[in-house]
Amino acid sequence: MSSSAPLRVIQWATGAVGGRALRSVITRPEFELAGVLVYDRDKVGRDAGELVGLGPVGVACTDDAERMLATEADCVLHMPLPASYFGGDPGTDAETICALLGSGKNVVTTTGFVYPRAYGPGLVDRLEAACARGGTSLHGTGINPGFMSDLLPLALTGLSDRLDHIYVRECSDYRGHPSPHIAADLMGFGREPDDYSTSVRPFRAFQRALFGESVQLVAAALDVPLDEVEETDEYLLATEDFDIAAGEVRKGTICASRWVFTGLARGRPFITVECVYKADGRRVPQWGDLGFTMHVQGRPGMAVTIDDMTQGLAGAAAHAVNSIAAVCAAPPGIRTLLDLPLATGRGAVRLA
Burial of 197 (0-12, 13-18, 19+ CB in 10 A): middle
Asked whether 170 and 274 are in contact (CB, 8 A), the reply is yes
pLDDT in tens, 15-44: 888 999 999 999 999 999 999 999 999 999
Q: Which pTM value belongs to this model?
A: 0.88
pLDDT in tens, 102-131: 999 999 999 889 999 988 899 999 999 999
> Sorting pLDDT into bands at 50, 70 and 90, what band is 205?
confident
pLDDT in tens, 209-249: 888 999 999 999 999 999 999 999 999 999 999 999 999 99
pLDDT in tens, 260-316: 999 999 999 999 999 999 999 999 999 999 988 999 999 999 999 987 666 667 888
d(CA 69, CA 48): 18
Residues 6+ apart with CB under 8 A from 153: 166, 168, 218, 271, 294, 296
Q: Looking at residue 300, what is its pLDDT?
A: 94
Which three-class secondary structure string do you get for 106-142? Answer: EEEECCCCCCHHHHCHHHHHHHHHHHHHHCCEEEECC
CA distance to 169, 207, 237, 254, 276, per residue, from 258 (Å): 10, 11, 12, 11, 4
Domains of the chain: 7-142+314-348 (3.40.50.720), 151-308 (3.30.360)
d(CA 116, CA 209): 10
Q: Looking at residue 1, what is its pLDDT?
A: 43
d(CA 256, CA 169): 15
pLDDT in tens, 61-87: 999 999 999 999 999 999 998 776 655
Higher pLDDT, residue 183 or 106: 106
Q: Looking at residue 88, what is its pLDDT?
A: 56
> Sorting pLDDT into bands at 50, 70 and 90, what band is 3?
low
Q: Looking at residue 294, what is its pLDDT?
A: 93
